[in-house]
Amino acid sequence: MTTPALARAAALDAADPLHSYRDLFVGAQDSSIPAYLDGNSLGRPLRASLDRIKAFIVEDWGGRLIRGWDEQWFDMPIAMGDMLAATVLGAAAGQTTIGDSTTVLLYKLARGALAMRPGRTEIVVDRDNFPTDRYVLESIAHDLGLTLRWIESDPRGGVDAQELAAAVSERTALVVLSHVAYRSAYLLDAAAAAQVTHDAGALLLLDLCHSVGSVPLELDSWGVDFAVGCTYKYLNGGPGSPAFAYVRAEYLDDFRQPVWGWMGRDQPFEMAQGYEPAQGIRRMLSGTPPILGMLAIQDTLELIGTAGMAAVRAKSVALTGYALELVREHLVPLGAEISSPLEPERRGGHLMIDHPRFAELTAKLWNRGVIPDFRPPRGLRLGLSPLSTSFREVTVGIIAVREELVRSDQPAL
């Protein structure tokens, strides 16, 4: 690796006001993983979470046992939802809860939203939305006899307000879009999308999986109706940590989700006959919430609260901008193509780089401890988590990609 590249990265790290946060993460100094560039798929765990989870097992679970439900756990999904809303969602209390997976919550929100627009027959979604979103909506459309109205979005970009306006009509019940596109990192103008959707009399459901904890959100002021997102990416909740759901306050009295379970019933411990939804956002719950899975999320929210989302976003823009410079210098001359928006205001926290040989090179990079993410058909996705990724990691990772591309061009002996 060239000394100037490392020297520049060192200078950027030294000037980074969030650089010391990296030391708070488990494995951040592990020399066997010189470049972890997949934080937008699975974030590193925080050291504080080790202590929190151990204390929970020994003191709360082991010490309080079933009494924990009365003392704390029953209200934990709502309390955590409020913490999430205040720290990273730009939402008032009482509209967010945690529980289930992204897939299940997406289904609940979509079905509940559609029931609020009876007589309308279409769901609008883009072709390049995340597979789960598309599959869930295909299932719902099939079951309810609705039509999916597809937006043929550019896989290197995303859906803009004009494209959305051309797709919605008086038949549209629901629009489902990702705030940050999982492939290109295109950053949706959510306020404009909400306005276009509402002008058509429809409802907007946002997928926040690739933006929460990386991009500032203002769900209330944007006019978003419903939102869903995961917690194991930029929120570092761990593999399979529960997702969250947001329901705008004005809809809560009428909102009915389709999976009726005892934890979402009014007065659940009465064990009464017949289902009556709980008041407020608790009605989004179904079964017993995953208490253990919520623990690590708290540490990241506390850390983001200390740093501030403005500083997190500034670091994210700096990381992706620096990565773009390195890609142009080292990978574009070797045939790589940038498949993410170049303007920082239109880009989330990751980058997509395309090359015909990235599929075969990904395993070789992983063997070197350089860990990006491959997305078919030929994309290398660089996920740069602002709190745990250093400029040195970005440099080491992109230079390693260049070395593997050069090596793959060499004729076999």
First to last CA, the chain: 25
Q: Are strands 244-247 and 350-354 parallel, antiparallel or unpaired?
A: unpaired
Q: How many CB atoms lie within 10 A of CB 200?
A: 21
Catalytic residues: 130, 207, 232-233, 381
Pair 90, 141: CB distance under 8 Å: no
Q: How many CB atoms lie within 10 A of CB 149?
A: 17
Nearest alpha-carbon partner for 338 in 353, 327, 325: 353
Max intra-chain CA distance, the chain: 76
Could you give the angle at which helices 391-409 and 309-330 cross, rounded to 10 degrees? Answer: 20
Helix (H) or strand (E) holding 338: strand 337-338
Alpha helices in 131-250 (DSSP H): 131-144, 161-167, 190-199, 219-222
> Cα-Cα-Cα-Cα dihedral of 25, 26, 32, 37, to 10°?
-40
Q: How many CB atoms lie within 10 A of CB 75?
A: 13
Q: Are strands 172-178 and 122-126 parallel, antiparallel or unpaired?
A: parallel
The rounded distance, in Å, linking the Cα atoms of 88 and 209 is: 12
Pair 321, 390: CB distance under 8 Å: no
